[in-house]
Amino acid sequence: MNHLDEMTCLLYLERQLDRPRAQEVSAHAQGCAACRTLMRALERESRLLTRAMLEEDEPLPARLKEFQERAKRSLQWIWGVAFGLAATGAYALYTGYIEPWQQQLEQAGFGGTNMLSLLVFQGAFWKGWQSMITLLEATALLTLAGFGAVLFRRRIRRGTATALMLAGLCAVVALPQAVSASEFRKGHSVEVREGETIKGDIFLFADRVRIEGTVDGDVYAFSQDVGVSGHVTGDVIAFAHTLRIGGKVDGNIRAGLNTLTVTGGVSKNALIFCDYANLDSSGNIGGSITAFAENLNVDGKLGRDILIFSKHVSISGVVGGGIQAKGGTMSIGATGEVGGPVRFEGENAPEVSSGAKLASPVEYKKWEHRREYLNKNYYIWRVIWTAAFILFGLVLLMLLPKFGRETISAAEQFGAPIGLGVLVFFGVPIAAVIACITVVGLPLGILAVGIWLLMLFTAELVVGTVVGNWILGRGSSSWEIVGRMALGFVLVRIAYTFLSQVHVLALLGALGIWTWGMGAISLAFYRRFQPVIAPGSPAGPFTPPPLPPNTTVGGVQPA
Amino acid sequence: MTAPVKTDPTEAITRAKAGDALAWGELYRDYAPAIFRFCRRALPTREDAEDATMEVFMKLRDKLGQYDQSRSFSAWLYRVAANHCWDTLRRRKIRQDKETEDVDSVPLEHPDANQLDKLIEQRTSEEVRKALNKLGARARMALVMRYYSDMSYDEIADALGVRRAFVGVVLLRARHELRQALERTSALAAGGAT
């Protein structure tokens, strides 16, 4: 006897066969135990499925307990106030800040990128063109990671893909390069003896470190007391209590320490975080000094500029470039020579000896210790700025309502936007700098920086809207969304004002907001521009396969 | 066989249509748990289901005026939810090109009923739900529409964008996938036990 196929049995059980066929199947099943058993098994399977799906395994989430009817509350009157404040703010902003800044900068001969170029291209961060190759490598890695994410996204969730991608990147970045060329030395006291030559980088961990020989690479020292009287062809990177450079360093010094003394020669730059830094009269630094120090004494010779944040700066030696200093006091002795402009911003007027040789008089700006929050203008400006931001958000939402909703929806996923935000926050400026260097890519680089800045300013609004949604529930109309944005933004601002009293927390808070918001915008962009199936056909109707030969699908007919 | 349905909603619907917020609240309280569970079964994550539930009810609030009271409210509600979930999956590109290709390859055979019995007996609901999560979106969606919300073949065909004649094929194919997922779980458990 021919048995019924599974499809026929299923359609029969689901009452999808037409009457004659159903009667045929029914008659067959009465005489065929195998088919009856199959039907019973299929029925059991259906019941199992229904039971599994209907079972209340998860309670209704708290946020779904009540429909967010509060969304309907109108907050439109706020916009009248906000608009007025914002218009006032825009005018006051221009006349009070932008115009005077422009004039001051022009008078001071400041280009917008002077500080950046001092820090990056002339200063302590610049490692030469080799570092650009590293940047290119990093960009190549980022591109690869992007491809990886695109490949992965069909298989795993977007957030997971982003997390994997970031973790992979971190792992690659953390991999030590040319491990075989590096040397590690540990102990109570370690040294590179006189006459000894280390090829490659060396990592030294000890209470006392002495380098009397030659290191043909970088020196990484973690120690109480580090002394370099030999020759280092690369950089000296040190975390120590004391660092003395008596020998020759062809690269840079980058150090976090208590005391730095340079009596030898450093060919490039010094980036230091320390209590006390002294460039001895016999010492020589070819590049610039960027320092965050309590005291800085320059008695020796410095090839280029000084950028310093310190309690006290004393110059008795030769500075080839200019000085930009912020801090308590500054003195330039009779033997001091400065080849560039000297700008000092601090508590006390600089003491300049009459014998000092300066390219131009010292520009001094006195610090005014005012507690901002005791000033009533502070609050007025806060309100004006807040209103201006909200107005900005309002305009954006009115111009791009759908994209705004998509961004907010993306921000509510947390993991993916924050992961992507980290990438965008750090990756885009790097990519833009590289693009600008190629000159051909200059417009692209500038455009990228422009978009990045726009995203940065919008990030706080996105986060504010999410906070507003937490409080009032999701809004459906544009005005409801704007209301949530305003409320959330104000709350974020208030919270941030308190946080900003502690600088580290302020930085962390700002970073969190920026990466979260920027990530959400990027995610919305990504979703917007990914290819979609033609609208109106949810899954793309597919060409139907031929029907089973013994199955007649027709109207619903009871068996 | 259908998802739990609360008391007759006709009066609440009439009042909600007239703008009574309390009536809308009643409808929401009565139907939100079932819709959430529907979305939870159909979508990959809990967060997606939460969002979808909220969005379905927002759509409902706007579309309530279009509801024809001569028809079942819960059926209408499930159809809106199904369309929304399927649209969400489509937008996220969680679609199954593979399924589209091989959906016609359902073997017309008479499987061993004892083997099927053996596979499904002693299966807990939790195991079935876990297996469901491993299915392709179309297969899972079809099973949820049919066995959770008791949607008709016509409604399923409409929601999935397939011809009605092939809903049975999609469902059978989905069952096969489910069985394979359950078998894999058993094999893994057996492997882990040894």
* Same domain for A326 and A233: yes
- H helices, E strands: number in chain A: 14, 22
Chain A residues with CB under 8 Å of B172 CB are: 6-7, 10
Mutation pick from B109, B172, B182 vs chain A, by most beta carbons of A within 10 Å, is B172
Q: Phi/psi of residue A192, each to 5°?
A: -110, 105
pLDDT, one tens digit per residue, over B97-110 is: 444 544 455 666 77
Q: How many CB pairs under 8 A join A and B?
A: 176
CB A363, CB A105: distance < 8 Å: no
In a domain, A61, yes or no: no
End-to-end alpha carbon distance in chain B: 39
Neighbour count for residue B97 (Cβ, 10 Å): 12
Q: CB contact, 8 Å: B40 with chain A?
A: yes
The CATH fold assigned to B10-91 is Rna Polymerase Sigma Factor; Chain: A (1.10.1740)
Cα A135 from Cα A131, distance rounded (Å): 6
pLDDT at B123: 83
Instruction: Look at B58 and A474 and tell me if their CB atoms are within 8 Å.
Output: yes
Looking at CA atoms only, how far is residue A3 from chain B in angstroms?
Answer: 7
**The token pair that represents A103 in the structure block:** 């004039």
Token pair belonging to A121: 């291209």
The pLDDT, as a whole number, for residue A551 is 39
Q: Do B37 and A54 touch (CB under 8 A)?
A: yes
The 10 Å CB-count burial string (b at 16+, else e) for A42-74 is bebbbebbbebbbeeeeebbeebeebbeebeee
Quote the CA–CA distance of A74 and A2 in Å, as a whole number. 70
**Are the C-beta atoms of residues B56 and B39 closer than 8 Å to each other?**
yes
Residues A349 and A440 in one domain: no
pLDDT at position A136:
57
Top residue of B56, B80, B128 to mutate, by most chain A CBs within 10 Å, is B128
**Nearest C-alpha neighbor of A247 from the set A233, A188, A272:** A233
> Angle, to 10 degrees, between the axis of helix B10-17 and the axis of helix B21-42?
110
A558 within a domain of the structure (yes/no): no
Which three-class secondary structure string do you get for chain B? Answer: CCCCCCCCCHHHHHHHHCCCHHHHHHHHHHHHHHHHHHHHHHCCCHHHHHHHHHHHHHHHHHHHHHCCCCCCHHHHHHHHHHHHHHHHHHHCCCCCHHHHHHHHHCCCCCCCHHHHHHHHCCCCHHHHHHHHHCCCHHHHHHHHHHHCCCCCHHHHHHHHCCCHHHHHHHHHHHHHHHHHHHHHHHHHHHHHHC
Cα B174 from Cα B138, distance rounded (Å): 8
Range of the domain at A248: 179-366
Nearest to B161 among A5, A55, A537 (CB): A537
| SS3 assignment, position A449 | helix
B108/A7 Cβ within 8 A? yes
How far apart are the CA of B91 and the nearest CA of chain A, in angstroms?
7
Do A482 and A393 meet the contact criterion of CB atoms below 8 Å apart? yes
Identify whether residues A104 and A238 lie together within a single domain: no
Q: For residues A394, A400, A402 and A405, what is the CA-based torsion angle, rounded to 10 degrees?
A: -40
Measured between beta carbons, the chain A residues lying within 8 angstroms of B162 are 539, 541-542, 544
Mean pLDDT, range B114-137, rounded to an integer: 85
Contact A167, A148 (CB under 8 A): no
Is A532 in Cβ contact with B93 (below 8 Å)?
yes
Contact assignment for A67 to B25 by CB distance below 8 Å: yes
Of A6, A34, A549, the CB nearest to B109: A6
Give, as one character, the DSSP assignment of residue A269: -
Residue A63 DSSP one-character state: G
Residue A38 and residue A100 in one domain: no
- The model's pTM is 0.41
- A290 and A407 together in one domain: no
CA distance to A396, A410, A432, A522, A523, per residue, from A529 (Å): 19, 14, 21, 11, 10
The CA distance from B121 to the nearest CA of chain A, in Å, is: 9
What pLDDT does residue A82 have?
54
In-domain check, residue A402 = yes
Report the complex ipTM.
Answer: 0.87
The minimal CB distance from A11 to the residues B83, B103, B168 is found for B168
Residue A68 located in a structural domain: no
Query: Domain end: A333, A366, A399, which one?
Result: A366
In this structure, the strands spanning A219-228 and A253-262 are unpaired
Chain A residues in contact with B143 by the CB 8 A cut-off are 49, 53
Calculate Rg over the CA atoms of chain B.
Answer: 19
Name the residue facing A4 among B90, B110, B162 (closest C-beta).
Answer: B110
Interface of B with A in 105-134 (CB under 8 A): 105-106, 108-111, 113-114, 116-117, 120-121, 123, 125-126, 128-129, 132
pLDDT at A279: 92
The reported pLDDT for the residue numbered A124 is 42
pLDDT at site A210: 92
The answer to the question of residue A442 being in a domain is yes
For chain A, the residue count is 559
B171/A contact by beta carbon, under 8 A:
yes
Q: What Rg do the C-alpha atoms of chain A give, in angstroms?
A: 34
Three-state SS at A474: coil
**Beta carbons of B172 and A44 less than 8 Å apart:** no
Q: What is the pLDDT of residue B42?
A: 92
Distance between CA atoms of residues A212 and A227, nearest Å: 8
Domain residue spans of chain B: 10-91, 97-193
Tally of domains in chain A: 3
Nearest CB to B1; choose among A40, A50, A537: A50
Q: Is pLDDT of B80 > 70? A: yes
What is the C-alpha to C-alpha distance for residues B110 and B112, in angstroms, rounded to an integer? Answer: 7
Residues A340 and A379 in one domain: no
- pLDDT-derived band at B37 (thresholds 50, 70, 90) equals very high
Q: Are A306 and A321 in contact (CB under 8 A)?
A: yes
Considering the domain architecture, whether residues A522 and A381 belong to the same structural domain is answered as: yes
Q: Pick A38's closest partner by Cβ from B110, B161, B165.
A: B110
Angle between helices B137-147 and B153-160 (to 10 degrees): 150
* Interacting residues of A47 by C-beta distance below 8 A, sequence separation 6+: none
Task: Determine the residue of chain B that is closest to A12 in CA distance.
Answer: B168
A289: left (phi > 0), else alpha (psi -120 to 50), else beta? beta
Whether A539 maps to a domain, the answer reads no
Same domain, A184 and A247: yes
* Structure confidence at residue B163 as a pLDDT band (50, 70, 90): confident
Judgement on whether residues A218 and A333 belong to the same structural domain of the protein: yes
Q: Which of residues 60-89 of B touch A (CB under 8 A)?
A: 61-62, 83, 86-87
Q: What's the CATH number for B97-193?
A: 1.10.10.10
Tokens representing A300 are 């020796």
Q: In angstroms, how far is the first alpha carbon of chain A from the final one?
A: 22
- Helix residue ranges, H only, A33-107: 33-54, 77-93, 99-107
Mean pLDDT by groups of 10 residues along chain A of 559 residues? 84 90 90 89 91 84 66 46 61 64 54 43 47 56 64 52 62 49 80 88 89 90 91 90 92 88 91 89 90 89 88 90 87 89 86 87 78 71 85 84 83 81 85 70 80 88 89 76 87 80 75 88 77 36 36 36
- Do A344 and A384 fall within a single domain? no
**Inter-chain contact A51–B148, Cβ cutoff 8 Å?**
no
Compute the distance between CA of residue B147 and CA of residue B175 in angstroms, rounded to an integer: 11
Contact: B25, A69; criterion CB under 8 Å: yes
Q: Which single residue is written with the structure tokens 């949820």?
A: B144
CA-based nearest distance B194→chain A, Å: 28
Interface test with B, best of A43, A45, A56, A530 (most B CBs within 10 A): A45
How many other β-carbons are positioned within 10 Å of the β-carbon of residue A528? 12
Question: Considering only CA atoms, which of B7, B37, B39, B35 is closest in space to residue B23?
Answer: B7
Closest approach of B184 to chain A, Cα-based (Å): 17
Q: Is residue A42 part of a domain?
A: yes
Same domain as A342, residue A196:
yes
Question: Do the Cβ atoms of A544 and B83 come within 8 Å?
Answer: no
Window 130-169 of B, Cβ < 8 Å to A: 132, 138, 143-144, 147-148, 152-153, 159-166, 168-169
Question: Is the domain of A24 the same as that of A89?
Answer: no
